[in-house]
Structure 1
Amino acid sequence: MEINNIKIGDKETRVPIIQGGMGVGVSLSGLASAVAREGGIGIISAAQIGFKEEDFERNPNEANIRAMKKEIIKAKEQANGGIIGVNIMVAMDLYDEYVEASIESGADLIISGAGLPMKLPGLVKGSDIKIAPIVSSKKAANVILKMWDRHYGRTADLVVIEGPKAGGHLGFSKDDLEKDIAVDEIIPQVKEVVATYEEKYNKKIYVIVAGGVYDGKDINRVMSLGADGVQMATRFVATEECDAHINFKKAYIDSKKDDIVIVSSPVGMPGRAIRNPFVKRTLEGRIPVKKCYRCISKCEPATTPYCITKALINSVNGDVDNGLIFCGENAYRVNEMTTVKQLIGQLINEMK
């Protein structure tokens, strides 16, 4: 199949692959810049990005914004002119400040989900940064693009369709997940919505598919249905350049199919993770929160089932038995360490 390029401003990919943003600390400048160097789009996750800063425990918000800027600048320096983007969840506290920090630091793209990024065009007004909402249905795409058009006179540069097989937080109910809805069914529906705004704004709006895309065969399949590219996260975890601890990567490599489960997240959305001692403890009852890191705007420390920030920091730092390990449905298929260069080369060969 012909390999399409994705244009982000005056830059262009060599492969139609976006590396999905993975927080906390799984996709920072190391992974993102490696992907960008190979011609893909590297994504830094904003979620509690400052957890390594010395003052994170005292001033998490300040530490996060500072780290956000540092990681973007570092990634751009190491990307050899490649494309660097950020993933910012709508549900995050200080959402506006993360957007501002991304613009100031020179990020090329903002991908935003975990809620509807209704005000994103207003926040980036006057900048050259490109914007992409994450949607899980035709309805969500229609609501967002209609709102952006009416209130800001702008449309998306990309639209990321995240299917139910994705990792981390999912934009589907548990009932929908049990129905095993295929992302393939959503692609033509979203394409129909996007076409209206492509015509109105006389521009290409790239449709990117995420969730369950594992190999070149999967890439070919979704692109044959009209996608312009894919977003992949799980495959990039077991790479040397991934910013997570080796124990986190080994958890993917050692996982079995039955270990991949749906969990309830304090964010209020279902999520997909690897079943481990921590996940088992969450099923036994509430894990009291000792400190609030103000990561999610609607979180109530007194009632939340556990602190998701602490759980994610533990796992990315290597304490996987006491942490939450988000993953995609195909994590169990990852069985060895590799490099970003080797992985992308393999994917491209599989597409031929």
Structure 2
Amino acid sequence: MIKSLIIGDLVAKIPIIQGGMGVGISRSSLASAVAKAGGIGIISGAQVGYDEDDFESNTLAANLRALRKHIHKAKQDSLGGVIGLNLMVAMNNYEDHVKEAISAGVDLIISGAGLPTKLPSFVKNTTVKIAPIVSTSKAASVILKMWDRKENATADLIVVEGPKAGGHLGYSNDELDNIDDINYDEEFIKILEVAKTYGEKYNKEIPVVAAGGISSPSDVKKYIDLGASGVQVGTRFVATHECDAHENFKMKYVNATEDDIQIVKSPVGLPGRAIKNKFLDEVSISRPKITKCYNCLIPCNPKDTPYCISKALINAAKGDIDNALLFCGNDAYKVDRLYSVDEVIKELTSML
């Protein structure tokens, strides 16, 4: 029998969280389908309003409006399923997005790409659950110790992202070049102990979820057996009919080979994993003209950034794949066709 993923008073019958993928890859369509199927659907808060009419002229307002709209729609279409938001701490206007999501009725906020130091204070006196994304036991200890000391609070969930994930990664380029030397399983077990320590202090269960490169039923079973309360999956949900991305983007996953997937350096200095394409070839040689700064990420300086990451990711969501940054997980090449969300979930849980 499949064991539910329980986060305080939130109950997901299927212990799968769909990873938050931006720009525009996981919005209300994908998130609601996963939540309706019994998992936890996650909307990415990164430039979520990229297709609003006033996005170019009034970016923040467009994003906040779209965030509210997609949370409401996902809650409605999932028939009351669990809907969360993924927000990068490195985003400009992070607090505005958190407060808008809380007001819109989001159930869970998952946050990485930096230390979400103030997140507990933002959700104080609400029912919204919070989860940091970490890659090491050291990072988990630092965040939970900080929250304990400064906010008298702790995590409701911990997401442990391994080196095989897509998008921005919490590892150095050197570490990713020697990926076999990273002992993710050992770190995961250490993080289970960190969660247990703070769970006992706050008299609550802090579920720990494995993430990064989880694409098969055996992957899911492995981490559940290791002590995970669930898994987070991104790549497999991109190649679904319900995914919010353009069909061209989905088919790049279907048609990718193992050699097409490479580590890239993002304009904000973080390594990422993406599918090789014309865009990556061109930006390795010359810097494209940047006509507008979307003020999306704190570490980005438009004067010296190699390219605009917002524009590159928006192009991906819209299907302009030759001029796009195509983030993906390590196992994207294993995707052989487009599936329904129900098919993916049924397959991934087939060994539980």
Report the TM-score, using the length of structure 1 for normalisation: 0.98
Does the residue aligned with 1:304 lie in a helix, a strand or coil? coil
* CA deviation map 1:252-295 (0-9, x unaligned): 00000000000110122100000000011121132231110111
- Code of the residue aligned with 1:53 in structure 2: it is E
Instruction: Tell me by how many angstroms 1:114 deviates.
Output: 0.7
What's 1:238 paired with?
A: 239
- Code of the residue aligned with 1:11 in structure 2: it is L
What's 1:211 paired with?
A: 212
| CA–CA distance in structure 1, aligned partners of residues 51 and 8 of structure 2 | 32
Does the residue aligned with 2:303 lie in a helix, a strand or coil? coil
Does the residue aligned with 1:68 lie in a helix, a strand or coil? helix
Does the residue aligned with 2:199 lie in a helix, a strand or coil? helix
What's 2:168 paired with?
A: 169
Q: Does 1:328 align with 2:324?
A: no
- Code of the residue aligned with 2:20 in structure 1: it is G
Indicate conservation of the 8 Å contact 1:44/1:85, yes or no: yes
| CA–CA distance in structure 1, aligned partners of residues 87 and 185 of structure 2 | 25
- Code of the residue aligned with 1:67 in structure 2: it is A
What's 1:102 paired with?
A: 101
What's 1:226 paired with?
A: 227
Does the residue aligned with 1:284 lie in a helix, a strand or coil? coil
Matches within 5 A, 1:83-102: 83-102=82-101
Instruction: Tell me by how many angstroms 1:224 deviates.
Output: 1.5
What's 1:184 paired with?
A: 185
Segment drifting more, 292-301 vs 179-188: 179-188
Q: Does 1:251 align with 2:262?
A: no
| CA–CA distance in structure 2, aligned partners of residues 11 and 95 of structure 1 | 24
| CA–CA distance in structure 2, aligned partners of residues 200 and 8 of structure 1 | 17
| CA–CA distance in structure 2, aligned partners of residues 208 and 59 of structure 1 | 37
| CA–CA distance in structure 1, aligned partners of residues 9 and 193 of structure 2 | 27
Instruction: Tell me by how many angstroms 1:298 deviates.
Output: 2.5
Matches within 5 A, 1:1-352: 3-180=2-179, 181-349=182-350, 351-352=351-352
- Code of the residue aligned with 1:132 in structure 2: it is A
Indicate conservation of the 8 Å contact 1:11/1:82, yes or no: no
Indicate conservation of the 8 Å contact 1:183/1:211, yes or no: no
- Code of the residue aligned with 2:203 in structure 1: it is N
Does the residue aligned with 1:66 lie in a helix, a strand or coil? helix
Instruction: Tell me by how many angstroms 1:123 deviates.
Output: 1.2
Give the aligned CA root-mean-square deviation in angstroms: 1.0
Q: Give every structure 1 segment of 4 or more consecutive aligned residues whose post-TM-superposition deviation is greater than 6 Å.
A: none
| CA–CA distance in structure 1, aligned partners of residues 316 and 195 of structure 2 | 38
Indicate conservation of the 8 Å contact 2:7/2:206, yes or no: no
Does the residue aligned with 2:87 lie in a helix, a strand or coil? strand
| CA–CA distance in structure 1, aligned partners of residues 344 and 6 of structure 2 | 22
- Code of the residue aligned with 1:347 in structure 2: it is L
- Code of the residue aligned with 2:222 in structure 1: it is R
How many residues are aligned here?
A: 350
Instruction: Tell me by how many angstroms 1:36 deviates.
Output: 0.2
Percent identity, please: 56
- Code of the residue aligned with 1:212 in structure 2: it is G
Report the TM-score, using the length of structure 2 for normalisation: 0.98
| CA–CA distance in structure 1, aligned partners of residues 27 and 89 of structure 2 | 19
| CA–CA distance in structure 2, aligned partners of residues 232 and 281 of structure 1 | 30
Instruction: Tell me by how many angstroms 1:173 deviates.
Output: 0.2
Indicate conservation of the 8 Å contact 1:311/1:323, yes or no: yes
Structure 2: state its 5+ residue gaps. Answer: none
Does the residue aligned with 1:145 lie in a helix, a strand or coil? helix
| CA–CA distance in structure 1, aligned partners of residues 115 and 37 of structure 2 | 31
Indicate conservation of the 8 Å contact 1:32/1:75, yes or no: yes
